[in-house]
Amino acid sequence: MKKIFDAIIVFFLIGFIALSGCVNIFQTDSCSILSHAVVDNHGYPTVELQVNVTGSITLKLFNPSGAFMERKQLTSGVQTVTFDVAGYHETPLSGVYTLEAYDKHGKTVAQKTFVLHPPLLSINGLEGEWWREGVNSYSLTEITLSVENKGNAPVYLDEINVEIDENDVFTAPVLQNTVEVGVKKQVSAFFYIPNLKKMEHKLSVRVFDYSGNMVASNEFSDTPSYKMSTEKFSLSWRYKGKHYSITLPVPEKLLEFYVSIKRPLLEDYTFYVISPYDDNYVTMISHQLFSLYNKEGEDLVNFIGSFTQSITYKEEEGEYPEFPVELLHNRFGDCEDKAIFASALLKNLGYDVALLRFPDHMAVGVHIADANYENRVYYQDFSGKKYLFLETSNTAWTLGEADEKYQNVVNFTLYPVISKPILIQECEPLTRYTSMVEDYIQVDTIVKNIGTRDADNVRISVVFLTPYGTGINGKSSDVFSVAAGKEKRVSFTVDYPDTAVAKVYVRVIHKGVMCNEVIFVFD
């Protein structure tokens, strides 16, 4: 009888403890998926979930082919969980996606599916900006489209094609490239379509995503018109005793786009030259200048130099390199801004150019194969290729001439203006995890290729620096690639060394060469 009584007492005690919340021996792992939506997450199409979890849950995502995509470890509570359904600026695979929740024993406790449809984008309107270049001669410049995303996933737009009067086709990259679900917005691109008469023109418009798929099309008609309100840049100057003048548009949407770009920490300012979004604008300026001075060789270089030199020079506070449209909007610039502008024009005209960086100055280098380099100022790259010095800050200097201060300088860097990958990173603050059995840091960084060529053979390297100046190489990430204009998320752990650490360097290594570095100070 006493044993039965003791068992009853124990049963009631266990029940009381469980109900009090101290421990619940009857608790099971569970997961309820309350809602989901596919949204844009800084350029990644992402399924955003609201879930209610009890216990410990592993949530996995599978794509329409049944392939595993990603997992998340969850603990008790109502929380937001995100899974990327495609890469940066990529269109997700259409079909049925499956979410499965597993308990700590690997048993499925919940499942949910959702369907992603192909992009459903409509073009509902077109507004063209026109620039009058002569009597009854116009060029079509900025085009703004009114679009609506009627699908159930974000759409990322790469370029717009315009066919004029069922004839020539012109292409330009989209400036505002993300259209979220259910959103109506305007997207723009800068074209240069010259020699159009003042008459109604048929415009066949096609929009493409980053995979080259056409996601929308429509047809419109538009007639050239001149807007007095268009911002203009005008300049008059003299070259070889003759007077020249030019007036250019300062396109509103292109200016807004470049002003919005955060300036990366770079020594290589060719980024501001090779950016593809203003290629058509630079072509328009080059075309206007060439029409004023239809020469070639060094003579044309010096004419472009005289034009750039005549733009007001003004030093800036701090360092803020400008894209060409910003320089024309401000109507002044410092040595970097004017060198960027001149090299963009010369590259567009077919010249082999470089930016020459000195400790306190920047100029342009021009390589001309059959030029005479004797008794002239030039600088060489690592292969011995010679670039004649072109001063763009001050007037009256011609190709191969330089102030004595910039003759035969040893401390300089030459950056060829060519299509290239340019890698930067945004690294999260490092977190150190310690326990009785392990000691490591978590590395989470985003590597961005802001250049115009793909980057292969890229890795992240971690180096620990001791208080005594000794470097200790830590683990590196796996090797990866980053396409031009794309980015790559990289996460990995690195064992912490068994010694004091003063600094940790997280470096981007491309083909064995360090091209970016973030430094963290450790106490």
Show the 3-state SS of 5-55: HHHHHHHHHHHHHHHHCCCCCCCCCEEEEEEEEEEEECCEEEEEEEEEEEE
Name the DSSP class of 207.
Answer: E
Measured torsion, CA atoms of residues 238, 241, 243, 249, in degrees rounded to the nearest 10: -30
Listed in order, the ranges of the chain carrying CATH 2.60.40.10 are 121-222, 423-521
pLDDT value for 7? 52
β-pairing, 312-313 vs 332-333, is: parallel
Q: What confidence score (pLDDT) does residue 300 get? A: 98
CA–CA–CA angle 327, 252, 426 (5° rounding): 70
Query: How are beta strands 242-249 and 137-149 bridged, if at all?
Result: unpaired
H-state helical runs in 58-216 = none
Q: Please tell me the predicted confidence (pLDDT) of residue 9.
A: 52
Q: How far apart are the first and last CA of the chain?
A: 66
Six-digit token string for 233 = 């840049």
Two tokens, residue 347: 């590259």
Residue linked to tokens 């700590």: 104
Cα 513–chain centre separation: 21
Could you give the 3-state DSSP secondary structure of residue 300? helix
Tokens of 223: 């007639």
The list of the chain residues with pLDDT below 50 reads 10, 13-25
For residue 504, give the nearest of 418, 434, 407, 430 by alpha carbon: 430
Q: Could you tell me which of 380, 381, 192 has the C-alpha nearest to residue 278? A: 192
Q: Which token pair is 36?
A: 């989901």
| Structure tokens, 398 | 């011609």
Closest CA relative to residue 226, chosen from 206, 198, 250: 198
Task: Give just the sign of the alpha carbon dihedral 310, 312, 315, 321.
Answer: negative
Among the residues of 349-469, which ranges form H helices?
A: none
For residue 329, CA distances in Å to 169, 231, 258, 332, 447 come to 29, 8, 11, 8, 32
Q: Residue 380 — left, alpha, or beta (φ > 0 → left; ψ -120 to 50 → alpha)?
A: beta
CATH 2.60.40.10 fits 423-521, yes or no: yes
**Confidence at residue 28, expressed as pLDDT on a 0 to 100 scale:** 83
Q: Specify which residues 506 forms β-bridges with.
A: 462, 518
- Which residues partner with 139 through β-bridges? 131
Its CATH class, for the domain covering 121-222, is: mainly beta
CB 166, CB 278: distance < 8 Å: no
Right CATH for 26-116 from 3.90.226.10, 3.20.20.120, 3.30.40.230, 2.60.40.2550? 2.60.40.2550
Are the C-beta atoms of 72 and 62 separated by less than 8 Å? no
The predicted structure's pLDDT at residue 3: 52
What does the alpha-carbon distance between residue 464 and residue 516 come to, in Å, rounded to a whole number?
16
User: CATH topology for 232-416?
Assistant: C8orf32 fold (3.10.620)
Q: Alpha-carbon distance 353 to 346, whole Å?
A: 7
CA angle 217–279–244, rounded 5-degree value: 125
Q: What angle do CA 19, 23, 27 make, to 5 degrees?
A: 80
Give the C-alpha separation, 221 to 383, whole Å: 53
Q: Find where tokens 């102030």 sit.
A: 403
- Using alpha carbons only, give the angle 283, 288, 289 rounded to the nearest 5 degrees: 100
pLDDT of residue 201: 96
- CATH 3.10.620 spans which residues of the chain? 232-416
Spatial separation of the C-alpha atoms in residues 353 and 350, rounded to whole Å: 9
H helical segments located in 349-499: none
d(CA 249, CA 328): 9
Instruction: Decide: pTM greater than 0.85.
Output: yes
Dihedral pair phi/psi, residue 410, rounded to 5°: -85, -40
- The rounded distance, in Å, linking the Cα atoms of 339 and 327 is 11
pLDDT at 24: 46
List residues bridging with 74 in a β-sheet. Answer: 57
Q: Are 179 and 162 in contact (CB under 8 A)?
A: no
Place of tokens 């010259």: 194
In sign, the C-alpha dihedral spanning 65, 70, 75, 81 is negative
Q: Give the pLDDT of residue 435.
A: 87
**What SS3 state is found at 292?**
helix
Which structure tokens are listed for 496? 């912490």
- Report how far residue 353's alpha carbon sits from residue 364's, in angstroms, rounded to the nearest whole number: 7
Tallying the residues shown for the chain, one arrives at 523
Q: Hey, is 336 helix, strand or coil?
A: helix
* All CATH 2.60.40.2550 domain ranges in the chain, comma separated: 26-116
Report the pLDDT value the prediction gives residue 27, as an integer from 0 to 100.
58
